Amino acid sequence: MSSRRTAAITGSLVTASFSVVMILSFTASADDQGPASSKGGKAVDPAPKGVELTTSLPERISVANSSGKTGLTATVKNEGTVESGDIRLLVVGFDGLEVKGVKGCSEIPEGDLPEGSNSGFSCAVGTLAAGSSKSYAVEATYDLGRQGKICLPVQTADGSRTFWQQGPVPFGTANPSPNAPATPLLLGTDNQPVAPGGDELPRTGAPLREALPLGAAGAALLAAGAAGIRWTRRPRTAPGDG
């Protein structure tokens, strides 16, 4: 084979590989997430008069089947008529969804994470004017062999009160895509396994008897919010940590 033809074939393979990388990167991004939704959200402690805080998550995300990486946008909004005062937003992962980073936010130490969660970040929102909002880019991984949930509490800056909490709300799919570069997941949907006879995708959803009920998890966090968000702390490795 001539060196010219060899170079042409090599160039084609490099181009093809680059295209695959571009496809995987795009499908795991937060670009095509559909409308935002406050599904699974509930007011907890009374907010100051004229303040109405809510959050929203995308209706859909895409998880790269090869790496499990995904991205989403978390938004907090003041839908009231006066400014919010100093607040913070927490972004917390549960089960198969692990939050790896939130732009502009600080990681919550392991010992301070909400009970049952695997990861979390705290975002110092500051004061939101009436009608204004602030969005955060979230990087995460999703284990498609498990259920995965996310939770967005909105608190006072010191965490003493929780005005609003979205979740823990699941992302999942009833239509797995084992042969595609990525699997689309919908907000508020429990995962389902691939149909029998097809290429096997890891079972996306534990049996009901093994799964943590969403209502129980949500109630636990809401109860913690009503009590001043006194998270159950895990044992620390050394005195003074946290």
Give the CATH fold of the 34-226 domain.
Immunoglobulin-like (2.60.40)
CA separation for the pair 143, 68 (Å, rounded): 6
CA separation for the pair 117, 135 (Å, rounded): 22
Query: Residue 11: pLDDT band by 50, 70, 90 thresholds?
Result: very low
3-state secondary structure of 215: helix
Judge contact between 30 and 58, C-beta under 8 A. Answer: yes
What's the rounded mean pLDDT across residues 209-232? Answer: 41
Task: Tell which residue, 210, 134, 212, has the closest CA to residue 170.
Answer: 212
Q: What is the pLDDT of residue 86?
A: 98
What's the rounded mean pLDDT across residues 116-134? Answer: 98
Query: Residue 177: pLDDT band by 50, 70, 90 thresholds?
Result: confident
**Residue reference for tokens 């049952």:** 116
Question: Which of these ranges, 9-13, 72-76, 155-159, 220-224, has the smallest mean pLDDT?
Answer: 9-13
Strand pairing category for 117-127 and 148-156? unpaired
Rounded to two decimals, what is the model's pTM? 0.71
Greater model confidence, 238 or 95? 95
CA separation for the pair 49, 83 (Å, rounded): 10
